[in-house]
Amino acid sequence: ELFLGQDGIIENCKIGQVLVDHSTVGARTSKACAEAASRKGALFLDAPISGGTERAVDGTLTIMAGGSPKAYDLALPALEAMGTTVRHIGPTGTGTTVKLVNQLLVCSHMLAAAEAMLLGAKSGADPELVFEVVNSGWGQSFMLDRNAPVMIGRDFKGVRTQIDVFLKDLGLIQELAQELGTPIPGSDLVFNLFKQASEQGLGAMDGAAVVLPLEKQAGFQIRKFG
């Protein structure tokens, strides 16, 4: 609606203007925006971002851009003010595709972190020590670092990225995989589990709340010792 809708951005753009979309959408949407912008004499970049609110605040986002080199070069100063890893991936749609690859890993790591923390805590290990030790070894991941404190502290308010947002991204990953004829069995499982969490009324909660249905099945909650 914002880009393609009546009286939207593209309808009101100027010749030579660079339009940049930082949202996570499907490649078809990015290509449709680029084609519409071209008809108006404008340039378009699909330039999704990664890093969440934490990295947005301090300007250290990762930005992956798809579109013409000319559009990228014109937009680069603005992009570099927002991110420390800024790359031109290739033609229209490639920035969007790389973001979906990123989200596949994010959501998979998020579920793995929930499973691991629950398994360790229910075994009797102090969850804070599970997090500390695992996060210093090969099991470390950004999503474990992000979500373990949320699970331990039981603060699942959706003030950052919510389950339903991740579920939307997982749906886009499903579409891309089907278009390309590429198997994603792990992502299929993650998609179904996030969908279950949303159907259980957890959609507006932080992504770390994907652990809650697992806790219900286990009959155990991750909590601080003492």
d(CA 64, CA 107) in angstroms, rounded, equals: 18
How many other CB atoms are there within 10 angstroms of residue 26's CB atom? 18
Token code pair at residue 37: 């912008």
Catalytic residue chosen out of the listed positions 40, 99, 157, 168: 99
Residues in the chain, total: 226
Determine whether 70 is an active site residue.
Answer: no
Q: List all residues 6 or more positions away from 72 whose beta carbon is below 8 Å from its beta carbon.
A: 45, 65, 88
Please report which confidence band the pLDDT of residue 52 belongs to, taking 50, 70 and 90 as the band edges: confident
Please report which confidence band the pLDDT of residue 37 belongs to, taking 50, 70 and 90 as the band edges: very high
Q: List all residues 6 or more positions away from 15 whose beta carbon is below 8 Å from its beta carbon.
A: 40, 41, 42
d(CA 19, CA 44) in angstroms, rounded, equals: 5
For the stretch 113-138, pLDDT in tens is: 999 999 999 999 999 999 999 999 99
Residue with tokens 């595709």, as numbered in its chain: 97
pLDDT reading at 226 higher than 80: no
Q: Mean of the pLDDT values across residues 31-51?
A: 97
d(CA 198, CA 218) in angstroms, rounded, equals: 19
Q: Which of 5, 3, 50, 226 is nearest to 126 (CA)?
A: 226
Token code pair at residue 195: 């969908």
Contact 209, 221 (CB under 8 A): no
pLDDT reading at 69 higher than 80: yes
Contact 127, 135 (CB under 8 A): no
Largest CA distance in the chain: 64
